[in-house]
Amino acid sequence: MQRVSEQDLQRQCDLLNKHFGFASEPYTKDPAGNYKPNPGVFHLAGAYGGWKLEAMGENGTGTRDVLGAGYLPKRALLELMHAFRYGIAA
């Protein structure tokens, strides 16, 4: 079995953001140097040795756990992200 890397997870995030027409990063830096949140953007969050898929809030405030599974090992998260993406496509 091949090892799942953070890059594999990030590739899935990028595909989801592209599908929905979202920016590729959760925050954008404006000309004044301030960071502005990008609503709806999918991104990874890591803690406790695990990873989860989050999305920025619609108003750009806060995040939500998209899959509702909490922090998971990389392989388990990758499988859920594949299932999520295939479900959206269907």
Task: Encode pLDDT of 4-26 as tens digits.
Answer: 999 999 999 999 999 999 998 88
So what's the pLDDT on residue 62? 87
3-state secondary structure of 44: strand
In a domain, 1, yes or no: no
69 domain residue, yes or no: yes
- For 13, the domain range is 6-89
Distance CA 13, CA 5 (A): 13
Q: How far apart are CA 90 and CA 87, in angstroms?
A: 5
What is the tens place of the pLDDT at every residue in 26-82? 888 889 999 888 899 999 999 999 999 999 988 767 899 999 999 999 999 999 999
Number of domains in the chain: 1
Tokens 């992200």 correspond to what residue? 81
pLDDT at 60: 67
Considering the domain boundaries, does residue 33 fall inside one? yes
Q: Is residue 18 part of a domain?
A: yes
Assess whether pLDDT exceeds 80 at residue 1: no
